[in-house]
Amino acid sequence: MRVGVTGASGFVGGAVCRAAVREGWRVHAFGRRRSVAGTHVGGAPYTAWDLLGRRPELPELDVVIHCAGSVTDWGPPAAIWAANVGGTRNAVAAFPGARFVHVSTASVYDPFRPTVMAREEQAPVRRYANAYGASKATAERAAGRAIVLRPHAVYGEGDTTLLPRILGAVRGSRLIAVGDGRPRVSLTSVHNLVQACLRAADGPVEHGVFNVADAEPVVLDDALRAVLAERGVDAEPYYLPLGLAGPLSALAETAFRLLGAARPPRLTRYAVGHLAVERTLDISAAQDRLGWRPSPTSFAGAAHW
């Protein structure tokens, strides 16, 4: 089977490439970087391709696994919309005859209320807190007749977002968080997400929307403590009341924007919304229809990530 992976120079895309190569598939890797280490894509041939730029000469493919896009809740909205919506449209147009697997996000669910074992039909919604959620919801529609996967809080070896953000919130002996640590959250290991991508690429379903997460939700405080323990960080979670964290995050965002900061503040309104209330996903559709079997949440080996 001939498989193309967009976003192959990134965290998820690289992991998908390596797994697809191990399956014995003929993999073609595409990414924005000029070059990547061969090990990052499992030795697959790599083509530098900015999906918003000139289209290179492309091979014929049976399946495209679309991992490219903006994964930040910070930055110019126009750039986020272009990467997520324009990039998806261009990837679909480049391979009109291929099965299309689109890696989306659980951020397409309503950010203004708890997500309690959300089912796929509960998104998209009419309002979003930022360009990231809104653009990803629009990108799902731009993907057309595709298989759409919605992971939440992807972590694992090579993680450039979740784990660094958690560790970046450590101040001395405290890990600064929001709420009370009691909400349940669905996390998605990169291994589980990759396996879902492979099942979508070569499984019994040609289109549909599927939540993707670890086997069971976990309590936020338990997850934070497990990360700290695996990394050997001598700190305890310290929870800011939601009534205080909300205004503080809004002030921090305003100050960072006025200063033209390239990086977001440690605490954003988006982060507050994901820490203070339940964010869990019903994954039964992916299990039943894709034949996908996720493993439990585990941070084993996090000291080496």
Q: Report the percent of the chain where pLDDT is more than 70.
A: 100
Task: Calculate the alpha carbon distances from 193 to 154, 196, 214 in Å.
Answer: 8, 5, 9
Q: What is the mean pLDDT of residues 200-206?
A: 95
For the stretch 262-268, contacts whose Cβ atoms lie closer than 8 Å and that sit 24 or more positions apart, written own/partner, are 263/74, 264/72, 264/73, 264/74, 266/165, 266/168, 266/169, 266/176, 267/169, 267/176, 267/178, 268/73, 268/74
Q: Residue range 184-191: average pLDDT?
A: 98
Q: What is the mean pLDDT of residues 285-289?
A: 98
Residue 213, pLDDT above cutoff 90 = yes
For the purposes of burial, counting CB atoms within 10 Å of the CB of 291, is it exposed (0-12), middle (13-18) or buried (19 or more)? exposed
The answer to whether the CB of 194 falls within 8 A of the CB of 154 is no
pLDDT at 274: 77
Q: Which two tokens stand for residue 255?
A: 């100050």
CB 104 within 8 A of CB 136: yes
pTM given for the model: 0.95
Above 90 in pLDDT, residue 305?
A: no
Going by pLDDT thresholds of 50, 70 and 90, the confidence category of residue 160 is: confident
Q: Is the pLDDT of residue 73 over 90?
A: no
Average pLDDT over all residues of the chain: 94
Q: Which residues pair with 171 in a beta bridge?
A: 174
Secondary element (H or E) of residue 99: strand 99-103
**CA-atom Rg of the chain in angstroms:** 19
What are 91-120's pLDDT values in tens digits? Answer: 999 999 999 999 999 999 999 999 999 999
pLDDT at 253: 78
Task: Report whether 49 contacts 8 (CB < 8 A).
Answer: no
**Which pLDDT value is given to residue 263?**
78
pLDDT in tens, 229-280: 999 999 999 999 988 878 888 887 788 888 878 777 777 878 787 788 999 9
Q: In order of start, what are the domains of the chain with their CATH numbers? A: 2-300 (3.40.50.720)
Amino acid at 36: V
Residue 237: cis peptide before it, omega within 30 degrees of 0: no
Confidence of residue 142 (pLDDT cuts 50, 70, 90): very high
